[in-house]
Structure 1
Amino acid sequence: MSGNIVISGSTDRTLKVWDAENGECIHTLYGHTSTVRCIHLHDKQVVSGSRDATLRLWDVDSGECLHVLTGHVAAVRCVQYDGRRVVSGGYDFMVKVWDPETETCLHTLQGHTNRVYSLQFDGAYVVSGSLDTSIRVWDVVTGGCVHTLTGHQSLTSGMELKNNILVSGNADSTVRVWDIRTGQCLHTLQGTVSPL
């Protein structure tokens, strides 16, 4: 959601742009050939990732597809966009950094041994969470893995990154707080009995 706009993605292969005030659909965005698995809105542009292994960059105002990014070989499960670069993670165990204007993959970040389900991107670092139970911190310029964060026992389903502090929620019912500069776990929060 951004301002008065809400974006939804669906199993019907479309995205919809909604007016949050009156609930009306402004645009239906067509182009994906399978389920839309993830979206990320930045200003007036949205990036979508799909089971069709592609990403699409859309203009929210016009509904036009501006760019198509191809290179994953399985479903795209998570995406982040900062207005300059797109970062995507997929069922092919890969994380990719893209220049959407040229539709070029700048880096393919390899190291996970299972599907990538969650991402955070702050312009300097990419953080990826996988079904392999690890979280990896990557340097966006070099494409190198800076740290592998271990301690979770299952899938990291959600993360938030701010000021070099990462909070990760995991299906092992814990929340962990990390310093991504050092790779150290600062806190483990446990209080739920169900997966997060």
Structure 2
Amino acid sequence: MEDQKIMLVYRTFILDRASTQWNRTSSKMQQALFSSSDGTIRLWDCHTGQCDNVINIGGEVGSVCSEDPWLFVGMPNVVKVWDTESGAKYSLNGPVGQVNALESVYNLLFAGLEDGVILAWKDTYETNITFQLAATLKGHTHGITSLVVGGGNRLYSGSKDHRIIVWDHENWQCIMTLNGHDDVVKFLMCWDKYLFSGSLDCTIKVWASTEDGSLEVIYTHSEEQGILALSGMTDPDVKPILFTDKGRLFAKQEVQTLQIGPADLFFTGDQIGLLTVYIWLAD
């Protein structure tokens, strides 16, 4: 780390293999949720550094997301669902192959599959706890790598086919296809009215709406290596961190996930299973 004034290492943990995702799973407790390719999910207390729970999934985890009180885990040919309050478990069948990406918003759950298909379920947990398959979205020719929901009923999907597709998740129609990357689109992120995309073509692109409603690239940031993970946060002065170099954090192996935690915490998970927690330092 070049700039000790920017961040310091808060804690480090060793997992069995590479971490893939973080999510706050409880509104009452701030927990870091990390899944690993060893088939386990670990819940860590962000403040004490203690592991609160280890869930043995029984298969390779492709993706994970949470929406209180639900925990969703993508695996080959299935999405498993846990009610973290009651302990009830469910399985959503329908996926073919690995579930590479999950996104949950309102009463919708989206799953991006290795065959390029996106499945959408609606839940009806206000009455009986059931998840009904609502739509099957086809448009990509290769595996889905990233899903994110934005404003205006939009769902964005990134793929190994180098494209981003914009969907309307109310009428399940494809709105437009974005062709701007020359390699796999690894991560998507919505920030305010902008869409950020990171790709193995060594670029991060910022997309914005035009007057006719389409999206165009308004900025391209280039790196020497392909982009494996993308996340955004504010500094201690609550200013967005954009593309001004404020320091560099180094890892022994490829950093495969970046996630933002509570209280200025920042998580990285690398290929060998090292989970590192950083905290912002005030100027």
Q: Residue 173 of structure 2 aligns with which residue? A: 144
Q: Residue 189 of structure 1 aligns with which residue? A: 220
Question: Could you tell which deviates more after superposition, 119-128 or 135-144?
Answer: 119-128
Distance (Å, rounded) in 2 between the aligned partners of 1:55 and 1:183: 33
Distance (Å, rounded) in 2 between the aligned partners of 1:65 and 1:83: 20
Distance (Å, rounded) in 2 between the aligned partners of 1:71 and 1:147: 26
Q: Residue 135 of structure 1 aligns with which residue? A: 164
Distance (Å, rounded) in 2 between the aligned partners of 1:103 and 1:65: 14
Distance (Å, rounded) in 2 between the aligned partners of 1:180 and 1:60: 38
Report if aligned partners of 1:67, 1:100 keep a CA contact under 8 Å in 2: no
Distance (Å, rounded) in 2 between the aligned partners of 1:165 and 1:187: 10
Over 3 Å counting, the alpha-carbon distance change for 1:23 and 1:60 in structure 2 is farther
Over 3 Å counting, the alpha-carbon distance change for 1:9 and 1:133 in structure 2 is same
Distance (Å, rounded) in 1 between the aligned partners of 2:52 and 2:83: 12
Report if aligned partners of 1:67, 1:103 keep a CA contact under 8 Å in 2: no
Report if aligned partners of 2:155, 2:166 keep a CA contact under 8 Å in 1: yes
The alpha-carbon deviation at position 113 of structure 1 amounts to 0.3
Q: Residue 37 of structure 1 aligns with which residue? A: 62
Bigger CA radius of gyration:
2
1:117 aligns with 2:145: yes
Distance (Å, rounded) in 2 between the aligned partners of 1:157 and 1:27: 29
- Match 1:157 to one of 177, 186, 200: 186
Q: Report the residue type matching 1:35 in the other structure.
A: E
Q: Report the residue type matching 2:115 in the other structure.
A: D
Distance (Å, rounded) in 1 between the aligned partners of 2:190 and 2:209: 9
Q: Residue 39 of structure 2 aligns with which residue? A: 13
Q: Residue 48 of structure 2 aligns with which residue? A: 22
Q: Residue 167 of structure 1 aligns with which residue? A: 196
The alpha-carbon deviation at position 83 of structure 1 amounts to 4.3
Distance (Å, rounded) in 2 between the aligned partners of 1:29 and 1:139: 34
TM-score (norm 1): 0.88
The alpha-carbon deviation at position 61 of structure 1 amounts to 4.5
Structure with bigger RCO (C-alpha 8 Å, 6+ apart):
2
Q: Residue 86 of structure 1 aligns with which residue? A: 109
What's the RMSD between the two structures over aligned residues? 2.1
The alpha-carbon deviation at position 91 of structure 1 amounts to 0.2
Report if aligned partners of 2:208, 2:218 keep a CA contact under 8 Å in 1: no
Report if aligned partners of 1:117, 1:130 keep a CA contact under 8 Å in 2: yes
Over 3 Å counting, the alpha-carbon distance change for 1:65 and 1:178 in structure 2 is farther
Report if aligned partners of 1:176, 1:185 keep a CA contact under 8 Å in 2: no
Q: Report the residue type matching 2:55 in the other structure.
A: L
SS at structure 1 position matched to 2:167: strand
TM-score (norm 2): 0.62
Report if aligned partners of 1:17, 1:60 keep a CA contact under 8 Å in 2: no
Question: Could you tell which deviates more after superposition, 124-133 or 81-90?
Answer: 81-90
Distance (Å, rounded) in 1 between the aligned partners of 2:150 and 2:91: 23
The alpha-carbon deviation at position 133 of structure 1 amounts to 0.6
